[in-house]
Amino acid sequence: MTDQYAVIGNPIGHTKSPLIHGVFAETTKQDMAYSAIEGPLEPEGAFAEVVRAFCVSGGKGMNVTAPFKLEAFAMADERSERASLAGAANALKFDDGRIVAENFDGIGLVRDIEVNLGVSLEGKRVLILGAGGAARGALLPFLAARPAEFVIVNRNTTKADALIKDAGASGSVLACAYGDLETMGRFDLVVNATSASLTGNLPPLPPTVFSPGSTAYELVYGKRLTPFLRLARNAGVRGIADGVGMLVEQAAEAFAWWRGARPQTRAVIDRLTVPLD
């Protein structure tokens, strides 16, 4: 019998996940089907009912996208360390009626940067904008890559400080406000983990954080040259990227978790890439 998987979100019409996992299944010769489910926003508890119904019907796993990552985490019976730090799940596995929660966003991001872009993080100065769910999910994978310094900038430094405390991080991990960046010098990697680019906005980021040898990474994908990437390019940055590689890499991690086979990602990334111009 063909194993059933799905992605759940709302809205869901834009999702690339069925295409991505369809290619993965074909290339790894897995007998599985993958669909998209538009989850209900109300009433309270309706999302959990849909997930449990999919599980009871024989579903093997689900990807979870906005706005349900917090609910998916809350309803799980078991949670990984990454998911626990993020307080959110982007993948679920159903194991004998139990729901196991994972978060592959951060590990997908780091893999895209280090493997696909060829940018080693070891010994580098890294700046991440925002202290929300995306930053929380990325913190542990970034620290595992051993940067020399990891700085979280946020309008609310209390939120950034809390993230560092929750992770048990210290030493080379710092929190600051945007106004502090004027005196902090240049960074090797700057990651925009805020939602500002979704609305065409830009965090109050001074261009002095960039150098021509920096890499600027935008988590939003498919928006071409966002205000953040434009700021970086105007500052002379040669290495700019959006989040399409992260999208595919986190999907590959979930696929390997479910199926025990890690697919190749390069061809899928190339297929989904939108030129940054």
- Give the model's pLDDT for residue 164: 87
Q: How confident is the model at residue 169 (pLDDT cuts 50, 70, 90)?
A: confident
Q: How confident is the model at residue 163 (pLDDT cuts 50, 70, 90)?
A: confident
- Give the model's pLDDT for residue 32: 98
| DSSP β-bridge partners for residue 9 | 38
Element housing 4 (H / E): strand 3-9
Whole-model pTM over 0.85: yes
- Residues 41 and 24: their CA atoms lie apart, in Å, by 30
Residue 84: Cβ within 10 Å count? 17
Task: Check pLDDT > 80 for residue 146.
Answer: yes
Q: What is the pLDDT of residues 101-133, one digit of tens each?
A: 999 999 999 999 999 999 999 999 999 999 988
- Give the model's pLDDT for residue 170: 66
User: Cis ω on the peptide bond leading into residue 18 (within 30° of 0)?
Assistant: no
Task: Check pLDDT > 90 for residue 30.
Answer: yes
The residues, ordered by sequence, that sit 6+ positions from 64 with a Cβ below 8 Å of its Cβ are 7, 8, 9, 72, 89, 90, 91, 92
* Structural domains of the chain in order of their starting residue, each with its CATH number: 3-103+245-272 (3.40.50.10860), 106-241 (3.40.50.720)
Task: Check pLDDT > 70 for residue 153.
Answer: yes
Burial code (b: 16+ CB inside 10 Å, e: under 16) for 228-257 equals bbebbbebebebbbbbbbbbbbbbbbbbeb
Q: What is the pLDDT of residues 239-255, one digit of tens each?
A: 999 999 999 999 999 99
- Give the model's pLDDT for residue 144: 92
Do residues 231 and 202 lie in contact, with contact meaning Cβ atoms separated by under 8 Å?
A: yes
Q: Which residues are catalytic?
A: 69
User: Cis ω on the peptide bond leading into residue 141 (within 30° of 0)?
Assistant: no
Q: What is the pLDDT of residues 193-233, one digit of tens each?
A: 998 898 899 999 999 999 999 999 999 998 999 999 999 99
State the residue for tokens 């542990």: 140
Secondary structure of 41-109 in the HEC alphabet?
Answer: CCCCCHHHHHHHHHHHCCEEEEEECCCCHHHHHHHCCEECHHHHHHCCCCEEEEECCEEEEECCHHHHH
Do residues 139 and 168 lie in contact, with contact meaning Cβ atoms separated by under 8 Å?
A: no
- Residues 135 and 152: their CA atoms lie apart, in Å, by 8
Q: How confident is the model at residue 134 (pLDDT cuts 50, 70, 90)?
A: confident
Q: What is the pLDDT of residues 39-89, one digit of tens each?
A: 999 999 999 999 999 999 999 999 999 899 999 999 999 999 999 988 999
Do residues 85 and 113 lie in contact, with contact meaning Cβ atoms separated by under 8 Å?
A: no
- Give the model's pLDDT for residue 277: 80
Average confidence score pLDDT of the chain: 95
Share of the chain above pLDDT 70, in %: 99
- Residues 101 and 94: their CA atoms lie apart, in Å, by 9
